[in-house]
Copies of this chain bind each other. A is one copy, B any other.
Amino acid sequence: MAALAPHAGHAQIIGITGSPGVGKSTSTNALVAELRKRDKRVGVLAVDPSSPFSGGALLGDRVRMQDHALDPEVYIRSMASRGHLGGLSWTTPQALRVLDAAGCDVILIETVGVGQSEVEIAGLADTTMVLLAPGMGDGIQAAKAGILEIGDLYVVNKADRDGADQVRRDLRSMLTLGERPEGAWRPPIVKTVASKAEGLDEVVEEIEKHRAWLESSGQLAVRRTRRARDEIEAIAVTALRARWGDVHGRSELDDLAAAVATGESDPYRAADKLLDSFTE
């Protein structure tokens, strides 16, 4: 990681999220094709937050991505997120740094929009792309309100279906409800038919405009510093946990936990003791 660090920082990281059924894999596939037309080196990370146990991967998505499997300028990796502390945070930044240092111009990181994973993706990405489609239950209303806060770019996919314009109108009116300060980025809404590769040129243009805005506004540095901060913290906390695990042979944390479980102590006092024993 130390050797890679000086070589990273070039790639634009694009988070792609949306409810099941909006066409994320097809869109990612079509977006890769459009980026390859422009001679960009592309990395793709598909993260499955729903398999904490199995370590399984998005097999279906990998199959759909086979268009690019033989292209040496496209790197595709499926990852299962693991652990109970929001799995994205630990391994995904490392994978992003490797792809970045390997010279990818664009890295697409795709996840199913369930639970908190879309928020985590937004935290890792320079540009967050939220996919919607007509006919998904109650459309926008069904989409979680959270998507209005994380999107830098909205894509209404399956735009050849009835209701696509309505989805766009609803989305537009919901996005304009909140006041945005002068100079703030106003997220565009693009219509696509990813299965026919329609509209992806406009998506790439908006992605490039957003990158330009990130640089001119100083937001790129802000976002990347915030991301580095989160990653340093995650590493430091993991290192601390490992140390707590074996101080004085039998773990001190185990003793403290036993005292809390029986009601002799409380978790706040125990946490203080744990920190004291570490700093002494």
Q: Per-residue 0/1 for A251-280: is the Cβ within 8 Å of any B Cβ (1 yes, 0 no)?
A: 001101110111111111111101100110
Chain B residues lying within 8 Å of A261, measured Cβ to Cβ, are 9, 221, 224-225, 227-228
- A257 near B225 with CB under 8 A, answer yes
Say yes or no: B51 contacts A146, CB within 8 Å: yes
Chain B's closest residue to A224 (CB) is B261
Partner of A274, one of B84, B87, B236, B272: B236
In the complex, chain A residues 27-81 whose Cβ is within 8 Å of any chain B Cβ: 49-54
Among A114-122, A157-165, A187-195, the one that faces the other chain is A114-122
CB pair B145 A54 closer than 8 Å: yes
Among residues of B, the one whose C-beta sits closest to the C-beta of A116 is B52
Interface size class of A (residues with CB under 8 A): 35 or more
| Closest partner residue, chain B, to A5 (CB atom) | B266
A93 to B266, CA, bound (A): 12
Contacts of A271 in B (CB 8 A): 232-233, 235-236, 239
Question: What residues on B are CB-neighbors of A86 within 8 Å?
Answer: 84-86, 116
Type the 1/0 row for A219-232, where 1 means its CB is closer than 8 Å to any CB of B: 00100111111011
Mostly helix, strand, loop or mixed at chain A's interface?
A: helix
In the complex, the chain B residue whose C-beta lies closest to that of A149 is B53
Interface: A95 (CB within 8 A): no
A266, B115: Cβ atoms under 8 Å?
no
A157 CB → nearest B CB, Å: 22
A residues 1-44 with Cβ under 8 Å of B? 1-2, 4-9
A237 interface residue per 8 A CB criterion: yes
Q: Is A244 located at the chain interface by the 8 A CB criterion? A: yes
Most buried by B among A6, A9, A226, A261: A261
Q: Does A127 contact B (CB under 8 A)?
A: no
| Cross-interface CB contact of A225 among B7, B225, B258, cutoff 8 Å | B258
Interface centre among A232, A264, A271 (most CB of B within 10 A): A232
Q: Residue A241 at the B interface, CB < 8 A?
A: yes
What separation, in Å, do the CA atoms of A120 and B86 have in the docked complex? 11
Q: Which 9 pairs show the lowest CB-CB distances between chains A and B?
A: A115-B115, A229-B257, A5-B266, A228-B260, A235-B271, A236-B271, A228-B257, A224-B261, A225-B261
Residues of chain A having any CB pair with chain B under 8 Å: 1-2, 4-9, 49-54, 84-87, 89, 93, 114-117, 119-120, 123, 144-146, 149, 221, 224-229, 231-233, 235-237, 239-241, 244, 253-254, 256-258, 260-272, 274-275, 278-279
